[in-house]
Structure 1
């Protein structure tokens, strides 16, 4: 009898355990069925959002690429325009510089002719003869005037040979420094600037010459035409420093400012 009761109790306990287990499984399954659709909807919605964001990012990327391309082309065009402007400015500067040099050259030629006429007038009015050299002072002066006349008439070769003849005499005539100066002027007009420089530098060797400021100014002009601005500025500085009252001071300052 006791055994039967024990078996009944065991059966009842097993039944209760089974019922609880079944109820727990049904509860879990029910909760699972309630949660899965919600998660599914959220995941689906997130996926749609992600796809939308990716599409938007792709559009932005394409737009940025187009903008970058346009900016690149715009920069290229802008740089090309800047280069053209620089070239035009350089051309204008070059033209201005050339015109300035031509103006200087014309003024120098006028000044040279004026000086030559003044010298002729001065020499003709002063016929005093102090010494009797291999050729007389009067003969020297007359030859000098002939050389200047040839220069004024544009006969540069005849004028050059005449001045070189007078220089070759090698005596201490008062006009030798002038002969050397006009020799430089002739070479300058012939555009033989290196020969002109040689003559103008020799003028500076005549310590009592009144042509030093002329020679320095012409030296600077020769170096300008040779493209040696450093040496040109050096000669102009010498002119301004040593001959502050020279007629070339204003021209020298203008050349230095350019």
Structure 2
């Protein structure tokens, strides 16, 4: 009887040991999926973090690139603005210098054409003299000042005001030294604003001053004005006048080209 109890006790212990091992194995196997999920989650979090950091870096770089682009655009605009202003200033100065040169050249020609002081003491009616002082007076006259003021306004592209000043000059000095020039620049003002019909009227006024230095300029602009208005017949006629009346003009080669092109 005692042996039977010992046998049963041993069997019970063996069964319990086997059950305990099975339970532990089952528990361990149950933990494996949980551990894998945690590992995957940790890996995912790390990957997400890296991705977010990378995205942040890309955004920062993108922002910096945009800032640089904006700076380049601003710098380019500043350079363009400065260059345009400088060019316009130089053009204005050049135009004034050219006009001053032409005026001075005309004055020299006028001085050379005047009779010299009579050398004979017995001459009853000596020829009028033209001294350096009187030549300087031509340049420093109110007429010259008004003309230069009007020309400067024209070069600033303030055409309406320029027309008023040139007309003021013509009002006070209708037969003055700069009258023909004033008519020419009035024509240029209207030409600039595409009022070609009115420009032609002013240009034709220049032609009433015989052998004036701006005659070929005015004749050329009359032809161009008709061309701008689409009046090819009139334009062709005016270009022919330019070639015939001013054969040595700088505008003749282009005028001949227009005559070939105009149908």
1:118 aligns with 2:98: yes
Cα distance change, pair 132–117 in 1 and its aligned pair in 2 (3 A)? closer
1:204 aligns with 2:226: no
Question: Normalized against structure 1, the TM-score is what?
Answer: 0.50
> Deviating runs (4+, > 6 A) in structure 1?
110-113, 124-127, 130-133
Match of 1:146 in 2: 149
Structure 1 alignment gaps of length 5 or more? 1-109
Match of 1:80 in 2: none
Cα distance change, pair 208–121 in 1 and its aligned pair in 2 (3 A)? closer
Q: 1:131 Cα deviation (Å)?
A: 11
Deviates more, 1:120-129 or 1:245-254: 120-129
CA distance in 2, matches of 1:257, 1:112: 34
Does the CA-based 8 Å contact 1:129-1:137 persist in structure 2? no
Deviations 1:173-222 (A, max 9, x none): 11100000000000000111111010011111111422111111000000
- SS in structure 2 opposite 1:246? coil
Cα distance change, pair 120–255 in 1 and its aligned pair in 2 (3 A)? same
Question: Normalized against structure 2, the TM-score is what?
Answer: 0.50
Equivalent pairs, count:
147
Does the CA-based 8 Å contact 2:92-2:152 persist in structure 1? no
CA distance in 1, matches of 2:91, 2:237: 23
Match of 1:187 in 2: 190
Q: Which has the larger radius of gyration?
A: 1
Structure 2 alignment gaps of length 5 or more? 1-89, 108-131
Cα distance change, pair 131–248 in 1 and its aligned pair in 2 (3 A)? same
- SS in structure 2 opposite 1:209? coil
1:234 aligns with 2:237: yes
- Alignment map for 1:35-114 (pairs within 5 Å): none
